[in-house]
């Protein structure tokens, strides 16, 4: 089992986004020292405005949403401060506002600077504001993501390369400069929320990263089964190889000596994040009606009815996980038994010191319970 951290620059009142970025760098350095295998950021655009927070003041928006709109810049800074830990943008959005050749260039450059410590996590976005702002039809995101992925793999593996597709056209022979250190290319992953996306990731030999687990444990098991059942017959894109890795993303995670201590630090940020995603008018409700490919996001009615009850949610879903080391070990072992080989832990939205403490607790008392090979 591999352990990683996912952070998205949420910060508490009295702080700032600039300070959160700097604190995150220190947390990444500490994660490396505590034995974590990889460190992740997502690509997020456009945080929540003050007016949005005010209109939902009866909810749990006691923290502010940052945004990591430029993971290539941020991760380069983290790279210079670390030596061993792998770096992964979990959700580089492969849509028209991110030219796939530019994505290939910055991933290859970072791979050179880190001597091969980079992964590429991709996504087609589950944020309606981002999709709408950049003028993308939600019904087309899946096919655009797939074609963009083909461009990136060709750029990594062919010299020179050309490409002719429905969305991208590069008729003039090109040489990606630089080429990545890892051959044939850095490991590629896709953020997977639907069961169908898990199966599709496995069929292409991509690593999967399970999101959307708020739907419940049954969904998590079905998603894992779809991936595990298809990865053995994977047919990678030409020139690529199979990345047999299935990661689970727990959106908010805390570990402390007592469950009460763990809850006190994480409760507000957990309720906040749940509201942002599944609350009435939240991200899932906005995106679900826009395309059949996003319809699964609407399957959250039961969880909406209990969205203020963290104990209920933790019993029914591993979306949020906080407690003692023994509690986390039990939940992580359940995921391991389903076929998950990575844990992506959202240690985020608390105070800087609480993040450092959680990272240390997991490194000392949780990770040793798992085989790390």
* Cα torsion through 371, 88, 300, 291, rounded to 10: -140
pLDDT, residue 57, reads: 45
Tens-digit pLDDT profile for residues 292-305: 655 655 666 777 77
Tens-digit pLDDT profile for residues 121-177: 999 876 667 788 888 888 888 999 999 999 999 999 999 999 999 999 999 999 999
Q: In terms of pTM, does the model score above 0.85? A: yes
Statement: residue 4 has pLDDT above 60:
yes
**Among 91, 82, 80, 76, residue whose Cα is nearest residue 40:** 91
pLDDT, residue 10, reads: 86
Q: Rounded to 5 degrees, what angle do the CA atoms 303, 308, 309 make?
A: 80
More confident position, 312 or 206: 206
Tens-digit pLDDT profile for residues 218-228: 999 999 999 99
Q: What's the CA gap between 161 and 154, in Å, rounded? A: 6
Taking residues 218-241, report their average pLDDT: 96
Tens-digit pLDDT profile for residues 171-196: 999 999 999 999 999 999 999 988 99
Task: Please identify, in words, the CATH class of the domain defined by 2-369.
Answer: alpha beta
Beta strand ranges found along the chain (DSSP E): 2-7, 38-41, 86-89, 92-93, 120-123, 161-164, 169-174, 188-192, 207-210, 246-250, 252-255, 320-323, 342-345
Statement: residue 59 has pLDDT above 60:
no
Statement: residue 210 has pLDDT above 50:
yes
Q: Mean pLDDT across the chain, nearest whole number? A: 89
Statement: residue 351 has pLDDT above 80:
yes
Q: Is 126 helix (H, G, I), strand (E, B) or coil?
A: coil
């Amino acid at each position: 089992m591999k352990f990683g951290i996912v952070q998205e620059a949420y910060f508490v009142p009295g702080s700032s986004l600039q300070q959160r970025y700097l604190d995150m760098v220190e947390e990444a350095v500490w994660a490396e020292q505590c034995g974590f295998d990889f460190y992740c950021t997502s690509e997020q655009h456009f945080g929540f405005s003050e007016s949005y927070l005010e209109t939902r003041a009866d909810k749990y928006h006691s923290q502010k949403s940052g945004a990591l709109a430029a993971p290539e810049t941020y991760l380069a800074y983290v790279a210079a401060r670390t030596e061993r830990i792998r770096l992964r943008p979990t959700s580089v959005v492969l849509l028209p506002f991110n030219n796939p050749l530019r994505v290939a260039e910055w991933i290859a450059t970072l791979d050179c600077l880190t001597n091969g410590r980079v992964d590429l996590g991709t996504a087609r976005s589950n944020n309606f504001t981002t999709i709408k702002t950049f003028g993308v039809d939600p019904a087309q995101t899946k096919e655009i993501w797939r074609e963009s992925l083909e461009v990136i793999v060709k750029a990594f593996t062919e010299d020179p390369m050309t490409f002719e597709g429905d969305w991208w056209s590069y008729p003039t022979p090109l040489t990606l400069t630089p080429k990545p250190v890892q051959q044939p290319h850095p490991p590629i992953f896709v953020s997977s929320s639907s069961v169908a996306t898990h199966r599709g990731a496995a069929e292409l030999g991509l690593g999967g990263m399970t999101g959307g687990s708020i739907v419940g444990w049954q969904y998590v098991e079905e998603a894992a089964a779809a991936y595990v059942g298809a990865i053995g017959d994977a047919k990678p894109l030409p020139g690529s190889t199979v990345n047999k890795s299935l990661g689970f993303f727990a959106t908010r995670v805390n570990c402390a000596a007592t469950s009460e201590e763990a809850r006190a630090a994480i409760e507000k940020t957990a309720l906040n994040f749940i509201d942002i995603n599944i609350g009435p008018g939240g991200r899932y409700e906005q995106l679900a009606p826009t395309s059949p490919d996003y319809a699964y996001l609407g399957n959250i009615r039961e969880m909406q009815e209990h969205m203020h009850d963290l104990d209920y949610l933790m019993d029914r879903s591993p979306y949020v996980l906080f407690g003692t080391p023994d509690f986390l070990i039990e939940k992580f072992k359940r995921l391991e038994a389903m076929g998950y080989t990575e844990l992506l832990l959202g240690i985020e939205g608390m105070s800087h010191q609480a993040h450092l403490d959680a990272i240390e607790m997991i490194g000392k008392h949780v990770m040793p319970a798992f085989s790390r090979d």
